[in-house]
Amino acid sequence: IPNDNISTIELETVRYRNDIDEQITREFTIRQEETTDVVVVDPPTPLTFKQKVLKFLSHCLNLQTLKIISITLANSGDNVAIYTPLFAQATNWQIGVYIVIFFFMMLVWLVFCYSFINFRPILNLAQKYAHYIVPIVFIGIGIYIIAKSDCFPWLVEAIKTKSFTNG
């Protein structure tokens, strides 16, 4: 690659006009010369494995993804409490069956939800009333769980007797 300097010349013409008849009264040219050194750029070096991994992680782990991960981890305590005893007593083939059933049912639910929400009347309702419906549904689920778990009658009795032992 040649390493010669590059020269550019800029010409600027300045014209002065008469205010009355717009005739040019004076005209002169300004010449500006600029020299630029050529910089040879080395070809980019290939990324190392560590750089590729960091680039991939920075692309995948943006702020929105980190928010979803943190919410999922914060809400997963009850799942750990439920499934730890189940997996602790299960054999290897049973764990394999659990995993296959889990992924199959997840696929079924995703297809069902995608079809359900893309059904035009449902989509219109969801877009219009979702911010009202979602809290009502979650409160209803919470009331149902409290009522079915017999926690509420136990709590009322514990408050009356001031005995908070379970049994």
Q: What is the pLDDT of residues 19-56, one digit of tens each?
A: 777 777 777 676 666 666 555 556 677 778 888 888 88
Per-residue pLDDT for the chain (167 aa), expressed as one digit of tens each?
A: 555 566 666 667 777 777 777 777 777 676 666 666 555 556 677 778 888 888 887 777 777 778 877 887 887 777 777 788 888 888 999 999 999 998 999 999 889 988 887 888 888 888 888 889 889 999 998 888 877 777 677 777 778 888 767 65
pLDDT value at residue 100: 94
Determine the 3-state secondary structure of 33 from DSSP: strand
Distance CA 113, CA 122 (A): 11
pLDDT value at residue 43: 66
Residue 146 in tokens: 């409290």
pLDDT value at residue 108: 93
φ/ψ of 62, rounded to 5, equals -85, 180
pLDDT value at residue 6: 61
pLDDT value at residue 46: 79
Assign 3-state DSSP to the chain and report helix, strand, coil percentages, each to 5.
60, 15, 25
Residues in CB range of 87: below 8 A, 6 or more apart = 95, 98
Q: Which helix (H) or strand (E) holds 9?
A: strand 6-17
CB of 6 closer than 8 Å to CB of 35: yes
Distances (CA, A) of 14 to 9, 24, 34: 16, 10, 20
In the chain, where the domains are located:
6-36
pLDDT value at residue 8: 65
pLDDT value at residue 154: 73
Determine the 3-state secondary structure of 91 from DSSP: coil
pLDDT value at residue 41: 58
